[in-house]
Structure 1
Amino acid sequence: MAERLHGIFTPTLVPFDEQGQISEAELRRFLNWLIERGVHGLYPNGSTGEFTRLTVEERRRIVKITCEEARGRVPVLAGAAEANVKETLAACEAYAGYGAAAVAIVSPFYYRLGPEALIAYFQEIARNSPIDVTLYNIPMFASPIDVPTIRKLSEEPRIIGIKDSTGDVAFMMRMIAAIRPNRPDFVFLTGWDAVLVPMLVAGCNGGTNASSNAIPELDRRLYDLFRAGDIEQAMKLQWRILELFDAMLFGFEFPDGFRAGAEMRGFKMGRGRQPMSSAQKADCHALRRVLQCILSDEGLTEPPPEGCAPRTGIQSEDKIRQIVFEIMKTLEDRGVI
């Protein structure tokens, strides 16, 4: 890998047409829009992209299209999780040929594996993959990867980083403390938008942020503020992103809220692969209005015709300063910064 992965990677959504097939033209338009609005990389076939609801052929087609549209402008971190080692390595081979910078491989799901089995699984992949590998830790859906296991796997030269979606800042700090002294090049990405600033302060290189499907400008601005050392302003923006993230994540079945957000930015996402009941559709209609009000308040879309109630804000500036101070103090006490 020529350059270490960093910044905001979008775990890209997949637009579907009226027949439920991938809308390739809309996908290409969407990918270019994301790049033009400043995301640092694209991450197809992630959880937000509903990779488990796609066929093998569809997953490969999505990565090929993504690499074609990226055209070296931004790196592609391709989700390569398949049902077993053999199929995963076949995906790695294909994605290397398409021009992806690296692959992200989730730990085995459905069958829960312990640490020794996870080490054997990832070692087999790393030692036979033609492309760099990032681990993907998402315990809510797959076998959890603990710190000793990650430290052991970091000894494999082909494993160049981890995407962690626990949202646990302390866990991230323990990983960084255990691995970075021996692998300063090892990449740490957070998959939890709600704590992006604390994760960056703790030492993360960036994030794979589902919210960037709808608000790429805000996620990029947050990252730039952090890199400029303006943590207070970054935290103010973090609170605004948190409100949007919560509306998209908790107001809908995942990832339908993020699909709704992308639609409000002008994209025809179509229906996802998971059917909805009539009650869910009614709830979605009401929740879309809430989401539209939040997006319009950020100047990213028009308000609904019926208007929006005034927003009261999430935190006062004094509260934000207090939270930033407490985060920094904790990290200093632990010797992280």
Structure 2
Amino acid sequence: MKFHGALTAMVTPFKNGAFDEESYRALLDWQIEQGINGVVPCGTTGESATLSHEEHKRVVRTCVEHVAGRIPVLAGAGSNNTKEAIELAKDARDAGADGLLLITPYYNKPTQEGLYQHFKAISAEVDLPFIVYNVPGRTGVNLLPETLARMAKDIPQVQGTKDATANLHQVSDIAEYCGKDFMLISGDDFTVLPLLAVGGCGVISVVSNIAPAWMAGMCKAFAEGDIEKAREYHFKLQPLSRACFLETNPAPVKTALSMMGKIPMEFRLPMVPLQPENEAKLRKILTDSGII
């Protein structure tokens, strides 16, 4: 399975404290209608850290069932507990996911060898493509390009990475060390276009929750060699990227979706509503961009 183009890191809508399955299914349909290339349930943007295991599994199963093969589903299944990651990975496999998004263990701060052994242990239990998610700003540890190249060579399931470092030096090293068949995917909405330029194949995006056609359009334009059009999309998306990170993700993007009438305005602690001044800024950016 080759993951490419724009994949949306789906929010998880809540209603009265529970998973809002009706809104979620409608969001999936809208994403597909807008031309998105894939979806990612239960990542950071999906508030996976606050979902129970049963909720996590239900969200993934709902996503796979509703998408019904129309686009790829890359299921979030990571944990800082290797045994827990294996459990979530097995359930996503059994649900029919096309691949797994596996974050590096957070809080534990493992060594590079510990990171390698974590993914090797999961690979012994689950035979699906792995996209390794590196986001040092949240995890406290950076998966180095040399370690990723070792994993790509030794662990067949490790077929790509979601890089959220915004470090173009690092992503260039990854492209060099891991080769052209390795899926280098942006995890940072601000630097998708530069990452594509050094060999990336797409993005797992927060912003595409609210502007799927624009993010997919940028990736498509670049793939077709229309750099000027891709650049136009890049600058069109920049205000939305700033808006979606006015406060900690996913509070801004869930607020934006609520303003668009697509989900209820509901969070799960410790996520809270935006400060009033940031909500006003968000509304203005969405209005100026024609989103609402």
Kept in 1, the 8 Å contact 2:256–2:283? The answer is no
1:96 is matched with which residue: 89, 93, 96? 93
Query: In the alignment, residue 201 of structure 2 is paired with which amino acid?
Result: N
1:295 partnered with 2:286: no
Q: How far apart, CA to CA, are the structure 2 residues paired with 1:276 and 1:70?
A: 28
1:45 partnered with 2:47: no
2:268 is matched with which residue: 265, 273, 277? 273
1:36 is matched with which residue: 12, 33, 37? 33
1:1-337 correspondence to structure 2 within 5 Å = 3-17=1-15, 19-142=16-139, 143-155=141-153, 156-180=155-179, 184-249=180-245, 251-274=246-269, 280-296=274-290, 300-301=291-292
User: Shift in Å at residue 51 of structure 1?
Assistant: 0.7
Kept in 2, the 8 Å contact 1:248–1:291? The answer is no
TM-score by length of 1: 0.82
TM-score by length of 2: 0.94
**Residues 110-134 of structure 1: per-residue CA shift (max 9 Å, x gap):** 1111111111111111222132212
Q: How far apart, CA to CA, are the structure 2 residues paired with 1:294 and 1:274?
A: 30
User: Shift in Å at residue 23 of structure 1?
Assistant: 0.6
Distance 1:44 1:75, change over 3 A: same
Percent sequence identity is: 28
User: Shift in Å at residue 200 of structure 1?
Assistant: 0.8
Number of positions where the alignment pairs a residue of Structure 1 with one of Structure 2: 290
Q: How far apart, CA to CA, are the structure 1 residues paired with 2:184 and 2:215?
A: 17
Q: Please, what is the CA RMSD of the aligned residues?
A: 1.6
Question: What are structure 1's unaligned runs of at least 5 residues?
Answer: 302-337
User: Shift in Å at residue 172 of structure 1?
Assistant: 0.7
Q: How far apart, CA to CA, are the structure 2 residues paired with 1:259 and 1:100?
A: 24
Structure with higher Rg: it is: 1
Q: How far apart, CA to CA, are the structure 2 residues paired with 1:70 and 1:29?
A: 11
Query: In the alignment, residue 84 of structure 1 is paired with which amino acid?
Result: N
Q: How far apart, CA to CA, are the structure 2 residues paired with 1:8 and 1:219?
A: 6
Kept in 2, the 8 Å contact 1:11–1:49? The answer is yes
Question: What are structure 2's unaligned runs of at least 5 residues?
Answer: none
Query: In the alignment, residue 252 of structure 1 is paired with which amino acid?
Result: E
Q: How far apart, CA to CA, are the structure 2 residues paired with 1:177 and 1:80?
A: 27
Q: How far apart, CA to CA, are the structure 2 residues paired with 1:49 and 1:88?
A: 16
Kept in 2, the 8 Å contact 1:106–1:137? The answer is yes
